[in-house]
Amino acid sequence: MNEPRRATIVAEIGCNHKGSLETAKEMITVAKIFCRVDVVKFQKRNPRELLTPDEYDAPHPVPYHSYGRTYGEHREFLEFSVDQHRELKQFCEQVGIAYSSSVWDMTSARQIVSLHPATIKVPSACNLCFDLMAYLADEFPGDIHIALGMTSRQEEEEIVSFFEKKGRSASVVLYACISGYPVPFEDVSLLEITRLSDMYGSIVKDIGFSGHHLGIALDSVAYSLGANYIERHFTLDRTWKGTDHAASLEPDGLRRVARDVDAVSRALGYKAKDILEIEEPQRKKLKRLGVFVSAKVG
């Protein structure tokens, strides 16, 4: 029987670095050394390309969390250049953790592809941008991770069919995801993991879970249900300025997620033999053997 494999734990730094390269590097270091996760993921946007002029010039919907006079200026403040992303990727390689990024527009996709990461993610907001996904399918040889928040089942089928036609479905990882910040427990919908696995597990490379819920109780369950990639938003301080921090884990929380999912991955298996070695001395000391009497027939 197939034994479960170890999950890949992804720390979604996103823009929680507050626009500071040094803070981003600190977060990478903490994620690797203290939290012991496998991947750190950032985000890449070109705000002028991604936003309409009205969206760019509008005020941030939550002014307290804004880093600029308009929403566009806020996004520009938090954005790293491709050279800064290259520096972050090199820093990840130095400390021994994988670098990844989501891409929100064509310019960002081209820039991140040029860095040759092992994985690139398509966020829920962009999973119907088929021109962007076609570029990744044609030009990026690595794994393409796709979040399915805010996505209907018909749209899911269209996404998977698109990558099948491109001959790239074996490189796709689909993430069960609910797009809320944070998501209440009753909306997390963990059984979407098994549904995605049942429907697409034989077509795509793997299934993941991108959690925006509070606490750490659900991540091990998500793994047990078949999510081999567990992604959580990560911050050094949940009180920092910015809208994502409240739905993020601080270092101790992320460390516990990695620890607990690893423990479940080691425990979630079948007995190697009828009586395990750890049971042998207990069996000799405690096992009471009765006399078996067979019933006579006739």
Instruction: Decide: residue 65, CB within 10 A, 0-12 exposed, 13-18 middle, 19+ buried.
Output: middle
133 close to 109: Cβ distance less than 8 angstroms: no
* Domain count along the chain: 1
Q: What is the pLDDT of residues 47-71, one digit of tens each?
A: 999 999 999 999 999 898 999 999 9
Name the amino acid, one letter, at 82: V
Residues 6+ apart with CB under 8 A from 136: 103, 109, 113, 120, 122, 144
Instruction: Decide: residue 135, CB within 10 A, 0-12 exposed, 13-18 middle, 19+ buried.
Output: middle
Give pTM, 2 decimals. Answer: 0.93
In this predicted structure, what is the pLDDT of residue 5?
A: 78
Whether 184 has a pLDDT exceeding 50, the answer reads yes
User: From CA 22, how far away is CA 106, in angstroms rounded?
Assistant: 27
In a domain, 288, yes or no: no
Q: How confident is the model at residue 295 (pLDDT cuts 50, 70, 90)?
A: low
70 close to 59: Cβ distance less than 8 angstroms: yes
The residue among 51 and 3 whose pLDDT is bigger is 51
Residues 6+ apart with CB under 8 A from 217: none
In this predicted structure, what is the pLDDT of residue 293?
A: 65
Helix (H/G/I), strand (E/B), else coil: 91: helix
20 to 25, 79, 104, 243: CA distances (angstroms)? 9, 9, 20, 16
Q: How confident is the model at residue 1 (pLDDT cuts 50, 70, 90)?
A: very low
Domain residue limits at 158: 8-271
In a domain, 227, yes or no: yes
In a domain, 161, yes or no: yes
Q: How confident is the model at residue 274 (pLDDT cuts 50, 70, 90)?
A: very high
Q: What percent of the chain has pLDDT over 90?
A: 90
Beta bridge partners of 173: 145, 206
Q: How confident is the model at residue 181 (pLDDT cuts 50, 70, 90)?
A: confident
Mean pLDDT for the chain overall: 95
User: From CA 189, how far away is CA 21, in angstroms rounded?
Assistant: 35
In a domain, 210, yes or no: yes
Place of tokens 């567990």: 230
User: From CA 174, how far away is CA 122, in angstroms rounded?
Assistant: 10
Which residue stretches of 201-250 are H helix?
Answer: 219-224
In a domain, 266, yes or no: yes
The residue among 39 and 2 whose pLDDT is bigger is 39
CB atoms closer than 10 angstroms to residue 106: 15
∠ CA 31-32-37, nearest 5°, is 75
User: From CA 130, how far away is CA 224, in angstroms rounded?
Assistant: 32
Lookup: tokens for 129: 């941008």
Q: What is the pLDDT of residues 187-213, one digit of tens each?
A: 999 999 999 999 999 999 999 999 999
In a domain, 248, yes or no: yes
In this predicted structure, what is the pLDDT of residue 278?
A: 95
Q: What is the CATH number of the domain that holds 98?
A: 3.20.20.70
In a domain, 84, yes or no: yes
| Mean pLDDT within 158-179 | 98
Q: What is the pLDDT of residues 68-114, one digit of tens each?
A: 999 999 999 999 999 999 999 999 999 999 999 999 999 999 999 99
- CA dihedral angle for residue 76, residue 80, residue 82, residue 87, rounded to 10 degrees: 170
In a domain, 298, yes or no: no
266-288 exposure pattern, b = at least 16 Cβ within 10 A, e = fewer: eeeeeeeeeeeeeeeeeeeeeee
